[in-house]
């Protein structure tokens, strides 16, 4: 299959909060035809964080999401600032959004970035594991954030995913990556229990 080819720069339809709605013209070689395609593009380097305490509790957030028009339970996430690595951004965003600080922060995926949804979204995100999180109380929410912190035992978090209570695809994907990285004896029993 031949890849589609971009024709010229995209037309910016709207831009706000570092996100652009674009109209990009493509040439489809198999059909010998041009097509206009809607894309969403972000300016920042996004990071999705799997924060977990020593007691195997997930530090999640509850936040209203305009796209779904509902309050969702999900993992904390955010964008890196200029000259900030994904790991540095993860540590900062975690504390700003939840009031928790991690002892260690590391990448979960060796390629360091995963597509949000490659059909209409140009951006990628980094998946990060934040271990041994402890509460500091130093929340600093952005002006557009109304967030509640939710401390959820890992077993309950997994049950919430299976029951469809966690529906954010980033959170589900990053949880899957994190499970492969956690090295706790309790985790093996939990995985066996959830798999039944």
Sign, CA dihedral 80-81-82-88, equals negative
pLDDT, tens digit, for every residue of 52-109?
999 999 999 999 988 889 999 999 998 888 889 889 999 999 999 999 999 999 998 7
Contact between 51 and 133 (Cβ < 8 Å): yes
Residue 98's pLDDT is what?
94
pLDDT, tens digit, for every residue of 7-30?
999 999 999 877 899 999 999 999
Q: Please, what are the domains in the chain? A: 5-42 (no CATH), 45-194 (3.90.79.10)
Which has the closest alpha carbon to 101: 137, 71, 66, 68? 137
């Amino acid at each position: 299959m031949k890849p589609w080819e971009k024709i010229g720069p995209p037309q910016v339809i709207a831009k706000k909060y570092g996100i652009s709605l674009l109209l990009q013209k493509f040439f489809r070689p198999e059909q010998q035809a041009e097509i206009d395609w809607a894309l969403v593009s972000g300016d920042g380097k996004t990071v999705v964080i799997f924060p977990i305490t020593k007691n195997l509790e997930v530090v999640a957030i509850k936040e209203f999401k305009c796209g779904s028009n509902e309050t969702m339970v999900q993992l904390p996430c955010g964008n890196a600032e200029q000259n900030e690595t994904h790991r540095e951004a993860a540590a900062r965003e975690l504390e700003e959004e939840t009031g928790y600080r991690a002892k260690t922060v590391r990448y979960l995926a060796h390629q360091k970035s995963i597509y949000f949804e490659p059909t209409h979204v140009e951006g990628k995100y980094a998946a990060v594991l934040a271990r041994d999180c402890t509460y500091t109380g130093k929340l600093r929410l952005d002006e557009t954030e109304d967030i509640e912190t939710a401390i959820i035992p890992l077993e309950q978090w997994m049950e919430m995913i299976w029951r469809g209570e966690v529906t954010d695809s980033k959170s589900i994907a990053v949880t899957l990556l994190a499970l492969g990285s956690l090295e706790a004896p309790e985790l093996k029993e939990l995985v066996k229990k959830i798999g039944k």
